[in-house]
Chain A
Amino acid sequence: MSNTNNATTSNNKVFKTVIFRGGGYSPKPLAWVGLSVFISLILMLEVLTRAGIITSLTMPIPSDVFWTLIELWQSGLLFKHLAPSLSRLVVGSFIGCSFGICVGIIIGLFSLARAGLVPLVAAIFPIPKIALLPLFVIWFGIDETSKYALIALGTFTPTVVATYGAVDNVDRTLIRMGQSYSLSWMSIVRKIVLPGAMPGVLSGLRISLAIAIILLVAAEMLGAEYGIGAYILQAGSLYDLERLFAGVAILSVLGVLVSAMIGLLEKILLKWRV
């Protein structure tokens, strides 16, 4: 009896194991992979910059960036820059997202609002908000308000689009069911439409909040003494690559944290999902 290639023979009949071909296409959580991609990329950069293959003009040495971050933290400047940035991010995106969700739901529920507002939103969406910076200064002044407004406007449109898409995707048979039990309009909206739209709204928030972080730097171009964006801009104008990258690293970490927060929120709010 031979046993090569999973094939066995007995009585002149060949037995072969059926080849498995049904795997893949189902994402599994592999937490360590993301981390190791980060680490190996950084290690590679470290080696290449130290060896001089990449000159210090084009890329700072990662460990130098790390020490710059530590220094920033020890001097207390990190907090001084982070606090105003975080408050701008929170206030601005809170205003933008909550208005966005409200308008999105209204568009999802009322044909009149849809007909009137969808083209408007489509017109606002592609405007680079940064191009409106001077206008924002004139409208809202040079202080915090204009920064809030910029972030709010930037997060508003993607949230609206995600929300009304989510409302459109709520299972119609569930709504018919509510009507067949004579539930009030308010009950149907609150107990069927809103929870049904929640998955779509949350994945929309993921995108909106990433946009909020991008716009934070833009908002701090509007003249800010402190803030991660201000810190990066200063470093950039002095061509101080270590500090520039230290600032960028902070933004990246912020992005990862926001995304993890939404992941947590999804886990809590969407336990019911199959």
Chain B
Amino acid sequence: MDLKLDNVSHSYGDLEVLQNVSLDIPEGKIVCIVGPSGCGKSTLLRMIGGLEQPQKGKILQVGDVPKGCLNALTYVFQDFALLPWRTVEGNIKLVLEDHRLTAGQVEEIISDVLSRTKLSDFRTALPKQLSGGMKQRVALARALAVNPAVMLMDEPLSALDSQTRELLMGDLVALWERAPFTSVYVTHNLNEAVRLGHSIVVLSRRPGRIREIVEIDIPLADRNSSSINLERKQSQLWQLMRDEAIAADQELLIV
């Protein structure tokens, strides 16, 4: 299943947030969205996920939702959004309980996603016992459990320290290599963008418009933090964003 954004515009009152955003999200690819703070990235992602309605334009699903998919558009939140009163296992069960699954099927899904995210030993732990990186892994396992058609990730790694972020990026790449998933990945970290994105959408400052789409055709597995090609892409992105970021930073908010 592909996604297609068709001329999406939105404003909050007088504040124009998004302007004529048109974008294709092809199946099996990771599309990164970068842009200066406050340019409407999170808003755009909420609209793609159906948590908010755009005032103009349409968001379309192209093709059918694949079979066996329990929740087509699935979020991974920046602050993990785990239920603190449920164990790791319980948090994953939460999203399976509303579907008609047998106990055996649920068990099978849970052990599968836990082993894919290297969490099998932490099944009965409560979120308060886990580190930030572990919590985000649990959130990832929960997202994988519903077998999503598209994963919508809003700065999923920005609450983590840089070492953990590096590790989790590696995990995401490994997960994608094993079973390519479709994803829209919002970040303000250009390094994450060039490591994980098949294409990178650069938004202008508010009102967010698409400035440029940068494609990277190096396979995900071959990208590492010291690759020269990636360095070049990253500085190209930074050139694109620099002026926007400076201008966005100096803008006075009229409230």
Contacts and interface: CB of A to CB of B under 8 A. Distances in A.
Contacts of B71: 180-182
Contacts of A181: 71, 74-75, 94-95, 98, 146
Interface string A228-250: 00000000000000000000000
B181 interface: no
Interface in B66-100: 71, 73-75, 77, 79, 81, 83-86, 94-95, 97-98
Interface stretch (A9-17, A72-80, A136-144, A169-177): A169-177
Interface in B81-134: 81, 83-86, 94-95, 97-98, 126-128
B207 interface: no
A195 B98 contact: no
Chain B interface residue bracket vs A: 20 to 34
Contacts of A273: 84, 128
A207 interface: no
- Which bucket holds chain A's interface residue count? 20 to 34
A262 B61 CA distance: 51
B49 interface: yes
The secondary structure that dominates the B interface is loop
A274 B77 CA distance: 20
Contacts of A180: 49, 51, 71, 73-75
Nearest to A272: B85
A36 interface: no
A267 interface: no
A107 B135 CA distance: 33
B128 A274 contact: yes
Contact of A174 (B74, B83, B146): B83
A42 interface: no
Given A191-B83, A195-B85, A274-B84, A182 B98 contact: yes
B98 A173 contact: no
Nearest to A192: B83
B128 A191 contact: no
Interface string A99-136: 00000000000000000000000000000000000000
A252 interface: no
A87 interface: no
Nearest to A274: B128
A190 B79 CA distance: 22
Contacts of A184: 98
Contacts of B128: 272-274
Nearest to B95: A181
Contact of B51 (A174, A176, A183): A176
Given A181-B95, A183-B98, A191-B94, A272 B84 contact: yes
15 contacts: A173-B81, A174-B83, A179-B51, A181-B94, A181-B98, A182-B71, A182-B98, A183-B95, A184-B98, A192-B83, A271-B126, A272-B84, A272-B85, A272-B127, A273-B128
